[in-house]
Structure 1
Amino acid sequence: MTSTGRTARGRIDKRKAILDAAFTVFARRGYDQACVQEIADEAGVAKPTVYNHLTDKENLFRHATEAVADAVRADSLAIVERLRDPGDLRAALEEVALGLLRIYSDPRSTALRRLTGSACWVGEALADRFARLCLAGALRQCDPAVAAEQFLALLTGPWEARALRESTVDLRAVVEAGVDTFVRAYGV
């Protein structure tokens, strides 16, 4: 590998380290309280290096949250793909629900929602899978977007309510109750 190749690779690694560190600091301190020097220290780079890569705090915040949102979205979409050929529908819904709820309750996702005010959720992909399941006769005919919205609400609502009053939430209990309700409403 040439020295140019090593330099380019080093630049990519530094940028990733800066973005990872920025998200960590923003999650810990919030946008207003985070400072570029703290991000540089967390990333193990000099403060001017942060500015060379991302120009300012606002740009740093945007890129750091977008990187995490993209990763959360990709992980979620991979889980939803399990519904492509579900076999045992209830078991597949439980597997998908558990995977999605693990992502949703992950500290990274929780911080992302707190920082941006939105979730990088997979309602459209889930609606697409539900539409296909309706066509295949595995779910009753319905508006798949509404079904997806309700499926997610059956998971996230109870998790959020329990997370407020309990130190740990039994994800499997939330999943089983949510999937049971969903199958009763939408199953054939």
Structure 2
Amino acid sequence: MTPSAPAPTRGRIDKRRAILDAAITVFARDGYAQASVDAIAAEARVAKPTIYNHLGGKENLFRTAMVEAAEESRRKVLATLEGFPTDPAGPEALRTDLNAIAWQLVDCMRSAAGWAMSRLLYAEAARFPDVYDAVQAEGGRQVNDALAGRLARLANAGHLEIPDPLRAARHFMALISADIPGLSALGTRAVADKVLRESIADGVDTFLRAFAKA
């Protein structure tokens, strides 16, 4: 077998990825009801039968694209959490470190693909409740569990007072991201970094007022 033999597999994977990325783009732009497989094929630059061969019809394409986009987003957030502070030098170092990790977490959320997925998730929740549950419940649980574990470590190191790490994790994510949907009009408007950093800092300050060790 020649070294180029695996190329068809790689090409198939790349084509599937192109179709899923195009599906998110078209569904977000046109809405599920108005989106067509023809439009997705054009966006992905593949033949329409290729989509059916890889992923079936429009409904299965929507489900697969949403779930896999959510999984990719979740992987990025979990990778970001690997850099969560463990034992800062003091209160100001803790504040600085939390602001830094909060900025990275928010940056994961505000990508064009991330916003497109979020808008679709809520817009089509009634039509696809299983997709909403899979993305929000399962994906949210994994991220919240991971964040809770890191907050618990800070509590064990004497930096925070957290009786319920899972609840504290939900509060942290909510506080650092609360202003973003409004500021960005659900991702349709650019937000200056300065404005975003101020919003994140307010969220971190509120979190520390509630949970910092006295």
Tell me, yes or no, whether TM beats 0.5: yes
Alignment match of 2:154 (pick from 133, 147, 152): 133
The whole-number CA distance in structure 2 between the counterparts of 1:167 and 1:53 is 35
Counterpart for residue 171 of structure 2: 150
The total of aligned residue pairs comes to: 188
Counterpart for residue 203 of structure 2: 178
What are the equivalent positions in structure 2 for 1:70-89 lying under 5 Å apart? Answer: 70-83=71-84, 85-87=86-88, 88-89=93-94
Counterpart for residue 106 of structure 2: 101
Residues 85 and 98 in structure 2, CA contact (< 8 A), matched pair in contact too: no
Over the matched positions of the two proteins, sequence identity in percent amounts to 45
**CA-CA distance at 1:142 after TM superposition:** 2.1
The whole-number CA distance in structure 2 between the counterparts of 1:164 and 1:58 is 28
**CA-CA distance at 1:173 after TM superposition:** 0.5
SS of the equivalent of 2:202 reads helix
Counterpart for residue 69 of structure 2: 68
Counterpart for residue 128 of structure 2: none
Structure 1: any 5+ residue segments left out of the alignment?
none
The whole-number CA distance in structure 2 between the counterparts of 1:161 and 1:11 is 39
The whole-number CA distance in structure 2 between the counterparts of 1:7 and 1:154 is 46
**Residue identity in the other structure for 2:191:** T
**Residue identity in the other structure for 1:62:** R
| TM-score (norm. length: structure 1) | 0.90
Change (3 A) 1:20 1:161: closer
Residues 82 and 92 in structure 1, CA contact (< 8 A), matched pair in contact too: no
The whole-number CA distance in structure 2 between the counterparts of 1:168 and 1:83 is 25
Whether 1:111 and 2:111 are equivalent positions in the alignment is no
Q: Quick check: 14-23 or 98-107, which moved more?
A: 98-107
Counterpart for residue 15 of structure 1: 16
Residues 83 and 96 in structure 1, CA contact (< 8 A), matched pair in contact too: yes
Residues 21 and 39 in structure 1, CA contact (< 8 A), matched pair in contact too: yes
The whole-number CA distance in structure 1 between the counterparts of 2:87 and 2:45 is 45
Residues 86 and 153 in structure 2, CA contact (< 8 A), matched pair in contact too: no
Counterpart for residue 25 of structure 1: 26
**CA-CA distance at 1:130 after TM superposition:** 0.9
| TM-score (norm. length: structure 2) | 0.79
Aligned-pair Cα RMSD in Å = 2.1
Whether 1:36 and 2:57 are equivalent positions in the alignment is no
Residues 177 and 200 in structure 2, CA contact (< 8 A), matched pair in contact too: no
Residues 25 and 39 in structure 1, CA contact (< 8 A), matched pair in contact too: yes
**CA-CA distance at 1:138 after TM superposition:** 1.5
